[in-house]
Amino acid sequence: MQKTERLVIIGNGMAPGRALEKLFETDPTRYSVTIFNAEPRVNYDRIMLSPVLSGEKSFEDIIIHGDHWYIENQIMLYKGHKVVEIDRENHIVRSEQGASAEYDKLIIATGSVPFIIPVPGHKLAGVLTYRDLDDVHAMMLAAKARGHAVVIGGGLLGLEAAAGLINQGMTVTVLHIAPTLMERQLDPAAGYLLQKELERRGIQVITKANTKEITGTDRVEAVHLDDGTIIKADIVVMAVGIRPNSGLGKEAGLAVNRGIVVNDQMQTSDPAIYALGECAEVGGMCYGLVAPLYQQANIVAAHLGGDHGAAFVPQYTATRLKVTGIDLYSAGDFGEGEDREEIVLRDANAGVYKRLILKDDKIIGAVLYGETADGPWFFDMLKNKTDTRDMRDTLIFGQAYQGGSPLDPMAAVAALPDEAEICGCNGVCKGKITGAITAKGLTTLDGVRAHTKASASCGSCTGLVEQLLHATLGDAYNPAAVQPMCPCTEYGHDDVRRLIIAKSLKSIPAVMQELEWKTSCGCAKCRPALNYYLVADWPGEYEDDGQSRFINERVHANIQKDGTYSVVPRMWGGMTNPKELRAIADVADKFHIPAVKVTGGQRIDLLGVKKEDLPGVWADLNAAGMVSGAAYAKGLRTVKTCVGSDWCRFGTQDSTGLGIRLEKFMWGAWTPAKVKLAVSGCPRNCAEATCKDIGVVCVDSGYDIHFAGAAGLDIKPTELLCHADTEDEALEIIVALTQLYREQARYLERIYKWAKRVGTPSILANVVTDRDKRRAYYERFVYAQTFAQIDPWEERVNGKDAHEFAAMAEFGMPVAAE
């Protein structure tokens, strides 16, 4: 259908992104959309910049709308185009780079700009702000020198910046002018507890600190306080506040006070122009938290779609600090007053502090530290002005203790009203979550995240969402995807891997200590997983722990049901020669190997090898130039090929050559689970490429790349990923895809299961659509390969570790299921 109206948006943050989502849901064909984004990138989740700074997430993890989303919705996105003029008379917007677009409706969503304290030295190199991804990249670059950072401002952003910088290895000092931290969101008691926790983590906190000047010759060297204190600094991060970025609206002649003035439909003084987000002033207020900004987005979307009854209504907001391991919740008004009473609960040993402020028996404020599960319940009562007289004696203990007998957590969350807010980051209420679970048949946390965005940002509401899944589905709920990785820990695979990177943990003992493992040495489930994550995440820094591998990987052979082993030497792309065949025959004769079989992966399997003969078998095969085929490995197994264009009359490309090239390039790479490839020389598919983890079907115009197939316990055809014109391009895509899988998948999770969990669009965005990302994944794989332990047996049989095999102690590992 022809789109009849032109919608132009200045800014590409979270609020306009949400407005477009809502607009496309209700009226997908009405507007042709053009976006000017001053940043040179797509829309991302700004409230998750802190985990990016700390190393817990990458930019790819916080993208809200990838390039494919703009393409699918026919949006013209100008990246890196700062708008410099709004021509209201002719309804035209112009960018600094000379691009222009005509509009029927215009949304200004220019956000805010950080406030810089105008002290002497504030323009020195090394003085940074903290508002966008460029700021984060600047801080991460500065942190590589492991120097001293001073953060000016002890509010939300300042403390998140401090936590991220100390995780990056810097020495960090926070300067805050008020007597306690986060004084706008916390009372003094909670601020004190927060300061103690930050200091325990190594962050120095100085309150009542008034910055006098920043000194340095060419760049920052120190910060001077007005009491004479001098603090060494290699960088200074200003995080003292923000101002609405309203200058463009003012230049266009719109009504502007602190922000661009709008009515409760978010319209400016020009009815064709809307303002949205931190740059807008509605009802005399400018908002910075995401919940009211999303409400504004919903209003704009409704108005553009023809619903002129929707209106912005100011609401209470709740605050959480996005620092891993610190539980903090604040909402409402917690000031002092004669007409107020308070209920306080303190548990010094547990580090728990709870305070409720009541007026006329209604909650008007809540501060929770250390134990925040009841935050949404208190917040719901605050918004609804619930009378608490009948629960006064037990109110502070939370929802589970109301009504006479304690409720378990699942029953407590089930008792919340549908309008109760569960996810503050994305403004998602309980009714939306339970409605999506029922209507769309959702059974997993990932499904809820994909359809509602609940728990998709900071993750602090994950437990509540899981409880809603359980309460809604009952016995049909299978929480396997969010269970701990083993009984030794409370963490799931995703959190363990995230924290390994965030905390720079580079040994199994370090992981177990920092993540508070319940056992001294782990178990047969967690040790192999931890070993893989450390190998994959710290190439060149972590030394592979052989005793944390399955027995098959430790002896480079597959144990059989009678206790003997099978040995499969590698045959590149299924090709061999007389020398290799003679070597295999000689080994079979010398060691009296009872069975020799051709495998489905185009190799030869020596079956029935005695354990004590394995060193000798490998010594003879190594001497003939043969290495392990890794038929046991959580890594690359085989690359099956047909003869292709060299011999077959139907062959379109050199499938054997590509198969050999792929196998030699990727040989020795550990992966979360086994990986099998195939290259077929034509669509007749003799190499069975369309049931492999990754498959290539050669065609006249190049190479069709398939992935996520299975032909074992599960039978699944592949999905077509993309087409490559050249062999080099095909190799780069396949290697990048493998590296993405290495970095995202859980241990023992096959490619097809990983792809189902993360979604094909996400994979496409990383290895197909964005060539820069693809190249980055490719280069990370290449870097890791420089440290890959390609042939451990060769070292052992040549004397480096000749007696290790005989003395090898079993770790108690079960035989790996293949």
pLDDT 10s digits, 472-512: 887 777 655 457 888 888 888 888 988 898 888 999 989 99
Of 8-12, 244-248, 489-493, 657-661, minimum mean pLDDT range:
489-493
Find where tokens 């962050």 sit.
Answer: 203
Instruction: Write the pLDDT tens digit of every residue in 346-384.
Output: 887 778 889 899 999 999 989 998 888 888 888 888 988
Percent of the chain with pLDDT over 70: 93
Instruction: Write the pLDDT tens digit of every residue in 508-525.
Output: 989 998 888 988 888 888
Residue 111 near residue 287 (C-beta atoms within 8 A): no
| Structural domains of the chain sorted by starting position, each given as residue range(s) with its CATH number in brackets | 5-111+244-304 (3.50.50.60), 127-240 (3.50.50.60), 493-549 (no CATH), 552-623 (3.90.480.10), 636-785 (3.30.413.10)
| pLDDT at res. 8 | 97
**Among the listed residues 556, 442, 558, 435, the one whose alpha carbon sits nearest the alpha carbon of residue 815:** 558
Q: Report DSSP letters for 161-211, one per residue.
A: HHHHHHHTT-EEEEEESSSSTTTTTS-HHHHHHHHHHHHHTT-EEEES--E
Nearest 5 degrees, angle CA 146-CA 152-CA 154?
Answer: 105
Q: Does 551 have pLDDT greater than 80?
A: no
Which helix H or strand E contains 328, and what residues bound it?
Answer: strand 328-332
Joined tokens for residue 553: 């990987």
| pLDDT at res. 581 | 95
Instruction: Write the pLDDT tens digit of every residue in 3-27.
Output: 689 999 999 999 999 999 999 988 8
Of 158-162, 275-279, 397-401, 595-599, minimum mean pLDDT range:
397-401
**Among the listed residues 136, 314, 152, 139, the one whose alpha carbon sits nearest the alpha carbon of residue 223:** 152
Say how many C-beta atoms besides its own lie within 10 A of residue 504's C-beta: 16
Instruction: Write the pLDDT tens digit of every residue in 159-192.
Output: 989 999 998 889 999 999 999 998 888 888 888 8
Residue 603 near residue 566 (C-beta atoms within 8 A): no
Residue 363 near residue 332 (C-beta atoms within 8 A): yes
Task: Write the CB contacts of 474 (distance below 8 Å, at least 6 apart in sequence).
Answer: none
Span 390-414, average pLDDT: 72
What b-and-e string marks burial along 410-445, b requiring 16 or more CB atoms within 10 Å of the CB? eebbbebeeebbbbbbbbbbbebbbebbeeeebbbb
| Amino acid identity, position 236 | V
Joined tokens for residue 758: 């993360």
